[in-house]
Amino acid sequence: MKAKVQVMLKTGVLDPQGEAVRHALGTLGFDGVEGVRQGKVIELDLAETDAARAREAVVAMCEKLLANTVIESYEIELG
């Protein structure tokens, strides 16, 4: 089973990388960009075939390693 995890900074947390991208886009002439939030996507190939157990395992992975849950949130997509 495949899992995709999208990790983003929580709303209200300063995103210096996103701000740098927004500034660079403005420098390149893309003036209409008012904000940028940058995150990461992690794709996992799991041996588990049961969706509930796969989700449980991926949640544990996110909580322990893949996301800093103090400042980041995550979304899991199984497929």
> Would you give the distance in Å from CA 38 to the centre of its chain?
8
| CATH at 70 | 3.30.1280.10
What is the span of the domain harbouring residue 18? 2-78
Q: What is the pLDDT of residue 54?
A: 98
Condensed to tens digits (0 to 9), the pLDDT of residues 6-61 reads 999 999 999 999 999 999 999 999 999 999 999 999 999 999 999 999 999 999 99
Measured CA to CA, the distance from residue 66 to residue 73 in angstroms comes to 10
Q: What is the pLDDT of residue 37?
A: 96
CA dihedral 60, 10, 5, 62 (to 10 degrees): -20
The pLDDT confidence band at residue 68, using thresholds 50, 70 and 90, is: very high
Measured CA to CA, the distance from residue 23 to residue 29 in angstroms comes to 10
Copy the structure tokens of residue 67: 């996301």
Q: Indicate the pTM of the whole model.
A: 0.88
Q: How many domains does the chain have?
A: 1
Q: Which amino acid is at 1?
A: M
Nearest to 17 by CA among 53, 76, 71, 66: 71
